[in-house]
Chains A and B, each alone.
Chain A
Amino acid sequence: MAIYTIWLREMLHFIRDKSRIIGSMGMPLFFLLFIGTGLNSAFSVPGGVGYMEFMAPGIVGMILLFGSIFSGLNVVADKQFGFMKEMLVAPVPRSSLVLGKTLGGASTALLQALLLLSLVFLLGAVKFSLIALLLVIPIMFFISASFVNIGIIFATRISDPHGFQVIMNFFIMPLFFLSGALFPVDNLPGWLKILVLANPLTYGIDGLRGILIGHPTFPLWIDFTILVVFSAITVLIGAYAFEKMQ
């Protein structure tokens, strides 16, 4: 009940903030249209797909990453505007609060990603079946759940929204560029490959790519297992951070 209540509030905030929904589409579409189109003719990627098609799952990963981490901003805002106290003084375990926030953040990121996927589909950048669409939903969910919690972990420590944005930008860019979203992982030089392989988002995007356009780098079950384990770890740390928050 409490989890559902927290989730519901996140959803209400989300659907009332139309500008955020539209705004969140901007950057990924910009990447796809300009960089994707620009590099489409210059590069060939394995499996004989066009670069644009190769990149499409990458920008879905991008919107999931951005949307999720910045949902930590809601936690910062709750602290700043005092609403956090209303939740902390309620007879509700902290873990329920974190789960509610996680599900709320993951749902909103998921909705943004689905909207983006439909736009990408309509633009003709990539073709996929309805079954593939249904299959990527769990993958997208676990990607968001992990990064929502990373956002929450930072949010419990930071009380200034600007500070939060600055610090998160610092993390988001490397996470995105070192994820195989923009280039194939196989032929990278050693040091770069290590960084990319250490990035959980790599497996998320690989999973998305495998299902949407085929030619994954890793078997699907590996991608999925890593995502689930990573989400579980971040949820636990998130719950712990919430518990410690005063």
Chain B
Amino acid sequence: MIDTKELTKRFGELTAVKSIELHIQEGEIFGLLGPNGAGKTTTISMLSTILTPTSGTAIVAGHNVATEREDVRKDIGVVFQDPSLDDELTGYENLEFHGRLYGMSKDERKERIVELLELVELIDKKDIPVKNYSGGMKRRLEIARGLMHKPRVLFLDEPTIGLDPQTRRYIWKYIKEMNAQERVTVLVTTHYMEEADYLCDKVAIIDHGEIIALDKPSRLKSKMGKSVISMDVSKPDKFCELVRKSKWVIKSKCVGDKVHLTVKDGEKLIPKLVILAEKNGLNVNSITMHSPTLEDVFIQLTGRHLREEQASSTDALRKRFMARRGH
């Protein structure tokens, strides 16, 4: 349903998307997982004909996005990262406008609007101006609008960004429901690893415009071993080296002040790791262990967290703390 070949977008010096290859099957929910600035929106913009690719090709629903724009546009629905509703109009009118713009007949529109507003549970708010909707309600309405003209492909650019966990879960539910009901192919971008994990049949991890891993979420995680141990030790770099020599771990990576280890048999390894650290004169401040997540996959591949703001804010806190202690 979506096939790209060496798809590339440059903005002046910056290459926002580098030679991406995607092959997305009909009916699939496909995730693009990556941190801020990874090139997710740029990719979606090219696939939805808003930006022209610098080089490479992309075929969406059988049409080339660069040369057959109008054909592509007929078959796609887009939910943009930033809000794009008409706040002055009601929810119903927003969908009505969309239906008219896509050439739907009056009866078709009426039926579809009711159907979709029921799906996203906004039917009793249909005559309220959108400016009086909550953030989550707006997002649901945008998803309904993206589906209004029965597209074959739906692009969702960070559909749950900034929403509370409960609303987020609801939106996941709607996406799954409509994917099952209408067989619509979904390309969703996100920087929430839970979202990619729960929602997607397949996930491509994207960083600096490049796809660095692509598989089913379960497979991506199982490549990480059985569990992930994070340790807060003094001199993490040195500890990493020691651990590598020991051959106990599958992969290791230092991120900030922490060491992330991918291991097979976590419970038995923890005491050994502590002893190893103490023997070499390193302090172990804390140890946690969990089953691998897509975040761990990202950390192992890049040495960074998916959500940099989070990591950097704890870093900043720690630095301040250290400064106060006179380090």
Residues of A within 8 A of B49 (CB): 89
Residues of B within 8 A of A1 (CB): 100, 103
Residues of A within 8 A of B48 (CB): 89
Which residue of B73, B74, B78, B87 contacts A81 across the interface (Cβ within 8 Å)?
Answer: B87
Residues of A within 8 A of B74 (CB): 91
Tell me the complex Cα distance, A88–B48, Å.
Answer: 10
Tell me the complex Cα distance, A83–B142, Å.
Answer: 11
Tell me whether A87 is interfacial, beta carbon within 8 Å: yes
What's the least CB distance linking A106 to chain B, in Å? 20
Tell me the complex Cα distance, A128–B191, Å.
Answer: 66
Please report the number of residue pairs spanning A and B whose Cβ atoms sit closer than 8 angstroms.
62
Residues of B within 8 A of A93 (CB): 70
Tell me whether A162 is interfacial, beta carbon within 8 Å: no
Tell me the complex Cα distance, A92–B102, Å.
Answer: 8
Residues of B within 8 A of A48 (CB): none
Tell me whether B37 is interfacial, beta carbon within 8 Å: no
Residues of B within 8 A of A85 (CB): 50, 78, 80, 84
Q: Smallest CB-CB separation from B129: which chain A residue?
A: A16
* Interface positions of A from 231 to 246, Cβ below 8 Å from B: 246
Contact A12 B89 (CB under 8 A): yes
What's the least CB distance linking A39 to chain B, in Å? 40
Tell me whether B62 is interfacial, beta carbon within 8 Å: no
Contact B88 A92 (CB under 8 A): no
What's the least CB distance linking B143 to chain A, in Å? 13
Which residue of B73, B83, B93 contacts A90 across the interface (Cβ within 8 Å)?
Answer: B73
Residues of A within 8 A of B50 (CB): 85, 88-89
Which residue of B76, B82, B87, B89 contacts A9 across the interface (Cβ within 8 Å)?
Answer: B89
Q: Smallest CB-CB separation from B69: which chain A residue?
A: A91
* Interface positions of B from 214 to 240, Cβ below 8 Å from A: none
Contact B73 A91 (CB under 8 A): yes
Residues of B within 8 A of A2 (CB): 100-101, 103
The interface residues of chain B, by DSSP majority, are classed as loop
What's the least CB distance linking B45 to chain A, in Å? 9
Tell me whether A44 is interfacial, beta carbon within 8 Å: no
Residues of B within 8 A of A5 (CB): 97, 100-101
Known: A85-B50, A90-B73, A91-B74. A9 touches B102 (CB 8 A): no
Tell me whether A189 is interfacial, beta carbon within 8 Å: no
Contact A82 B82 (CB under 8 A): yes
Q: Smallest CB-CB separation from A17: which chain B residue?
A: B88
What's the least CB distance linking A181 to chain B, in Å? 32
Tell me whether B273 is interfacial, beta carbon within 8 Å: no
Q: Smallest CB-CB separation from A9: which chain B residue?
A: B97
Tell me whether B85 is interfacial, beta carbon within 8 Å: yes
B interface, size bucket: 20 to 34
Tell me the complex Cα distance, A1–B68, Å.
Answer: 21
Contact B98 A86 (CB under 8 A): yes
Residues of B within 8 A of A83 (CB): 84-86
Q: Smallest CB-CB separation from A89: which chain B residue?
A: B78
Contact A82 B88 (CB under 8 A): no
Tell me the complex Cα distance, A87–B93, Å.
Answer: 15
Tell me whether A157 is interfacial, beta carbon within 8 Å: no
Residues of A within 8 A of B86 (CB): 9, 81, 83
Tell me the complex Cα distance, A178–B227, Å.
Answer: 78
Residues of A within 8 A of B102 (CB): 90-91
What's the least CB distance linking B206 to chain A, in Å? 22
What's the least CB distance linking B131 to chain A, in Å? 10
Q: Smallest CB-CB separation from B81: which chain A residue?
A: A82
Tell me the complex Cα distance, A90–B80, Å.
Answer: 13
Tell me the complex Cα distance, A8–B99, Å.
Answer: 13
Tell me whether A127 is interfacial, beta carbon within 8 Å: no
What's the least CB distance linking B152 to chain A, in Å? 13
Q: Smallest CB-CB separation from B86: which chain A residue?
A: A83
Tell me the complex Cα distance, A111–B275, Å.
Answer: 84
What's the least CB distance linking B147 to chain A, in Å? 14
0/1 string, B54-92, CB within 8 A of A gives 1? 000000000000000011011010101011111111000
Q: Smallest CB-CB separation from A90: which chain B residue?
A: B101
Q: Smallest CB-CB separation from B98: which chain A residue?
A: A86
Residues of A within 8 A of B88 (CB): 12-13, 16-17
Tell me the complex Cα distance, A60–B71, Å.
Answer: 45
What's the least CB distance linking A115 to chain B, in Å? 21
* Interface positions of B from 114 to 129, Cβ below 8 Å from A: none
20 A-B pairs with CB atoms under 8 Å apart are A1-B100, A2-B100, A4-B100, A8-B97, A9-B86, A9-B89, A9-B97, A13-B88, A16-B88, A17-B88, A81-B83, A81-B85, A81-B87, A82-B84, A82-B85, A85-B80, A86-B98, A89-B50, A89-B76, A90-B98
Q: Which residues of B does A touch, CB under 8 Å?
A: 48-51, 70-71, 73-74, 76, 78, 80, 82-89, 93, 97-98, 100-103, 145
Please name 9 further chain A to chain B contacts, defined as beta carbons within 8 Å, in addition to the given A1-B100, A83-B84, A93-B70, sorted by A numbering. Answer: A12-B89, A13-B88, A16-B88, A81-B86, A82-B83, A89-B50, A90-B102, A91-B71, A91-B73
Give 7 nearest A-B pairs by CB, closest first.
A82-B84, A91-B73, A5-B100, A91-B74, A90-B101, A86-B84, A91-B70
